[in-house]
Amino acid sequence: MDRYGGPEVLQLVELAKPTPQPTEVLVEVRAAGINPADVKQRQGQGPLSSFPMILGWDVAGVVAEIGLGVTIFSPGDEVYGMPWFPRQAAGYAEYVTAPSRQFAPKPPSLSFAEAAALPLAGLAAWQLVTDTIHLDAGQRLLIHGAAGHVGALAVQVAKARGAHVIGVAKGSDHDRLRALGADEIVDYTSVRFEDVTDPVDAVLDFVGRDYTARSVPLVNRDGVVVQVPSPPASDDVRGGAAAGVRVTGFLVEPDHSSLLALTDLVERGRLSVEVGAVVPLGEAARAHEMVESGKVKNKVILSPDV
């Protein structure tokens, strides 16, 4: 894309194949995931500002070349990752270069499309639950937007750690959330969540608006509320501090060890990911239209091989 705008700004072009620098790998992309962050970036609401711009952070593929100093991968290895975030990774392409430790071996049980649906959302879920909240077994976690892609993964990560999970979602998503392991589900269309929820140790807020402020009174002292993806308002931070609750924002980071942890959960049957559609790379504009329409429930994937 050479400007911000609607899906039509995404155009297929020919570029030279990149060369891996020391500590980098060249990955032949078999699938690239589309995230809401991609759509916002295309509209001019993301961290990138230089044109021409290539979107995409979720990547799954095969190592084609390795740079000097790379020891954890060899050509032919199947990998997945979220390279360079929040800098440009240029995932909507046939080839990507990035530091080798921003990738991990692809979970053997996942297809390339399924693996490309996992890195950004999966890393966010893992880092939120384990590193930001430090959720322990037996603790109570409330998730607003639990039926979203990150929210559903956070439900599974939290359950794998032995937590009691309360998901807030509309009625049509309740069966799916129960299947993912949610212990309680609140239908926000029929009740106010604060009227039916007992005290919790932590809250993940994927909705925003006034949800963070309304959640603070539910949180036990020394608990935490994390608002994603936008940072919380200063009033919410001060209100949380007055109640002895930490209110904070969050930004996901590339992380080899976290990817390995996700792979372990996948291979143990504790984490599943769902693909809604696979679209040819050259039809990225149509894929973005599908994402923005909201008609495709699960992750939309681009594939150079389709």
Q: What is the mean pLDDT of residues 7-15?
A: 97
pLDDT in tens, 138-165: 999 999 999 999 999 999 999 999 999 9
Q: Which residues contact 270 (CB under 8 A, 6 or more apart)?
A: 156, 159, 160
Note whether residue 253 is domain-resident: no
Q: What is the mean pLDDT of residues 169-178?
A: 95
Other CB atoms within 10 A of residue 191 CB: 12
Note whether residue 259 is domain-resident: no
* Interatomic CA distance for residues 61 and 79, integer angstroms: 6
292 and 221 in a common domain:
no
Q: How much is the pLDDT for 18? A: 97
Q: Name the burial class of residue 232, with classes exposed (0-12), middle (13-18) and buried (19+) by CB atoms within 10 angstroms of its CB.
A: buried
135 and 99 in a common domain:
no
Q: How much is the pLDDT for 112? A: 98
Q: Name the burial class of residue 220, with classes exposed (0-12), middle (13-18) and buried (19+) by CB atoms within 10 angstroms of its CB.
A: middle
CB 118 within 8 A of CB 150: no
Last residue of a domain, one of 248, 263, 295: 248
235 and 197 in a common domain:
yes
The structural domain count of the chain equals 2
pLDDT in tens, 193-224: 999 999 999 999 999 999 999 999 999 999 99
Q: How much is the pLDDT for 294? A: 84
Note whether residue 51 is domain-resident: yes
Tell me: pLDDT of 305 over 90.
no
Note whether residue 144 is domain-resident: yes
237 and 139 in a common domain:
yes
pLDDT in tens, 251-293: 999 999 999 999 999 999 999 999 999 999 999 999 999 999 9
Q: How much is the pLDDT for 230? A: 87
Note whether residue 1 is domain-resident: no
135 and 66 in a common domain:
no
CB 61 within 8 A of CB 26: no
Note whether residue 65 is domain-resident: yes
Strand partners, 103: 81
Q: What is the mean pLDDT of residues 101-118?
A: 98
142 and 60 in a common domain:
no
Residue (of 280, 257, 10) closest to 123 by Cα position: 257
Which single residue is written with the structure tokens 């909201």?
294
Q: How much is the pLDDT for 182? A: 98
Q: What are phi and psi of 16, to 5 degrees?
A: -70, 145
Cα four-point dihedral sign 179, 175, 164, 223: positive
Q: How much is the pLDDT for 9? A: 98
Pairing of strands 103-105, 140-144: unpaired
CB 166 within 8 A of CB 142: yes
CATH assignment at residue 164: 3.40.50.720
Q: How much is the pLDDT for 296? A: 86
Q: How much is the pLDDT for 161? A: 97
* Interatomic CA distance for residues 64 and 224, integer angstroms: 43
196 and 87 in a common domain:
no
Residue (of 25, 24, 64, 36) closest to 304 by Cα position: 64
Note whether residue 109 is domain-resident: yes
Residue (of 301, 281, 306, 268) closest to 109 by Cα position: 268
What pTM was computed for the model?
0.96
139 and 109 in a common domain:
no
Q: What separation in angstroms does the CA of 96 have from each of 32, 83, 88? A: 11, 9, 11
Q: How much is the pLDDT for 36? A: 93
pLDDT in tens, 29-57: 999 999 999 999 999 999 999 999 999 99
* Interatomic CA distance for residues 303 and 11, integer angstroms: 15
CATH assignment at residue 290: 3.90.180.10
128 and 99 in a common domain:
no
* pLDDT class of 295 with cuts at 50, 70, 90: confident
94 and 144 in a common domain:
no
End-to-end CA distance of the chain: 21
pLDDT in tens, 217-255: 999 999 999 999 889 999 999 999 999 999 999 999 999
Secondary structure (3-state) at 10: coil
Domain containing residue 36: 7-118+273-303
Here the tokens at position 10 are 């995404």
Tell me: pLDDT of 133 over 80.
yes
90 and 25 in a common domain:
yes
199 and 97 in a common domain:
no
Note whether residue 262 is domain-resident: no
Q: What is the mean pLDDT of residues 172-192?
A: 96
The H or E element containing residue 238 is helix 234-242
Pairing of strands 103-105, 78-81: antiparallel
